[in-house]
A and B are shown apart, each in its own frame.
Chain A
């Protein structure tokens, strides 16, 4: 199962790497959102560090949404999804493959976004880089797990680009709240123990929703 999933993920990433349009657009989009945030606040009234966790997470949320919309769009061209379903791989490995590919995609965008965020808003992230990466990773796994499942459904509906955010945002909200709180605690230089409660919640969310999406995914593609 893992082998099939890995193959699938590699296929998606290879397509991505060859064309590079989606990843480049997502990265440029991230930079632009960060810019919009800079001009969307009054720098004399609000210090950057007070707004930093929100800026980071709103940017990542939008970037993830953009990436997830694309995940199954790829398979709709030339009925590629039907071909994939005919292949002798289990439905669950298709999900895992898509999940891995999406995680790599979103992770890459975040890896570019995080240093830029630190640079643009003059936030010192180096002292807390380790825990911050853990928070980002846990939250990203949570959204992408649910998002991959939902994008498999919305991809085949009318107005997919609009429906995915409407369905997904309520599910992104709880991990987003915890991630913002944990990030705020970390950036303010509070002890790590203040963030562990949120980290535990994020991990619990990930475990529940990755399992759930893994189990439910076959129901969204079987003919």
Chain B
């Protein structure tokens, strides 16, 4: 009986304001608050609120047969609490159905694991606490920023008590093998891996409204048929995508919400199929093999590696400079620690990416800066001011 496992990522970065070299030492407020509020309000209205309502209805309609999971970054949770509390409320209503699992991640949607193991642990704990506080769940499954993963990450998370990790079903780690099974993590045998079926996931998140795509127009029935075709060739089909796909990346006018409303019914027409969450899947299914992932993978761009955030020398310099500050940080939980955490959000590095020509369009769409150079300059100015603050108390 193949399982369909849907997980949605919810994240909104805390965008930085334009900060010039002349503000260093004078202006210690880095956030572009107006822009962040506006974007959050827009995405809440176009995506989070209507999509949550649809999921709520679907769960009721299918009486427990439709199940789904979320990971909401701490940066997004903070912003919802501050500006859009009704979004938190609607996620809490979903949590209360018992059909929705919440996953853990690093609180600031960061790259901390690459630079500071202790900071990574701190952020995982922070996020666990926030998930429990908001949704009453203690997560057992983990997904790292943009599905970044390697063997060491599995080891570290295994030590923190995690038993499930979600990552990308990248061709280069799978080779001839299929993403439609559970795997065991090399370096942490107790950890089960769920691999994203990137073709089927991207059919929705990237290609849904692309009229040049042979699959266009994509109906729920057509898509369910593709899923059903996998019947004898897999245990689990992992559809992992950004939640903003619904109503924000794919506008309501494309019919994406109607697709979402109809999909569970179409998939459940085939009696061998059922919906599952990562935790349930790990209990019900057994891994088929051990998967060795010595080098980092992710779900980003065509390379599916770290180059979207650490591909050029500006990105590396910015991250190095940021984590160098760790040893200078004052003791205790102050505003400086919080600011330092917020500056770790991976989006800040993503904006500095110079891979313009192949993946440039996606990068450009999400980028508040005109160029990666502007992003780097702005970020380094802010980092200079934070350094000043730390050194001058």
A binds B: no
| Partner-A contacts on B (CB < 8 A) | none
| Partner-B contacts on A (CB < 8 A) | none
